[in-house]
Amino acid sequence: MRTAYFGAQPGNNRPMRIVLATSNPHKIEELRHIFAAESLANIELVGLKDIPGTPPDPAETGATFVENATIKAREYAAWAGVMCLADDSGIEIDALGGRPGVISSHYATDGRETGVTREARDAANNARVMRELQGVPVEKRAARFVCTMVLAQPDTSASGRATKAGRVLHIATGHFEGRIGEPGMAPRGENGFGYDPLFLVPPQFTLSAAELDPNEKNRLSHRGHAARAMAAFLRGM
């Protein structure tokens, strides 16, 4: 188990360090912005790349967002030696029976990692969704982003040695309802990532999530709702 601190200690002003179980710079930036707005100045969020050593590569074998987020949070907490906040998120499209769901980030390859860049993967995923929704009328293109966050801390055995997986402290989930734009309305926008350019925001459905101002997106988004719920838990710690 790594030498680390879990929170501000008596006699010093060090913040509580939490590692975010992601290497996605967009997610890290969003969460830092949301936590700052929630007056959590005593929380230091760091990414996997900020922790020395080679991180594990947990197999996301869960059938739900909660299961996958829990796998990541527990394994990364045990590896890093500090509390870990992991999220699993994706988009559910009613006309596709809830797909892409837990394989949202690799939908174009049916959940398989192929080593392409994030930008190429996003483009392929978006193209598949638009292809599969071809001819689906606007009233049947309802969709929602879902984000589940799990906070875990390193756990120890009776002997004081670190166990192979951390202990879950809290789970928070957020949703962002909308619909997938028809050709001509989507894709559009440069501010987001993933499926944001396809996702039209209610009630007018004239702007995509990728066209929202970052503050407005954080207010409305699935990740914003989950992060604020997690922030409320952290304030009470």
Residue 126 inside a domain? The answer is: yes
C-alpha triplet 219, 225, 229: angle, nearest 5°: 130
Helix (H) / strand (E) element for 67: namely helix 65-80
pLDDT for position 147: 96
Which of 88, 94, 155, 196 is labelled catalytic?
A: 88
Residue 1 inside a domain? The answer is: no
Residue 229 inside a domain? The answer is: yes
The parent domain of residue 55 ranges over: 16-235
Residue 122 inside a domain? The answer is: yes
CA distances 188 to 24, 25, 92, 176, Å, are 21, 21, 19, 18
CA distances 27 to 57, 137, 176, 222, Å, are 18, 32, 16, 12
Which CATH number does the domain housing residue 219 bear? 3.90.950.10
Tally of domains in the chain: 1
Query: Catalytic annotation on 88?
Result: yes
Residue 11 inside a domain? The answer is: no
pLDDT tens per residue, the chain (237 residues)? 444 433 433 345 677 889 999 877 878 888 888 888 887 767 888 899 888 888 888 988 999 999 999 999 999 999 999 999 999 999 999 999 999 999 999 999 999 988 899 899 999 999 999 999 999 999 999 999 999 999 999 987 555 555 567 899 999 999 999 999 999 999 999 988 899 999 999 999 999 999 999 889 989 999 999 999 999 998 887
Residue 5 inside a domain? The answer is: no
pLDDT for position 162: 55
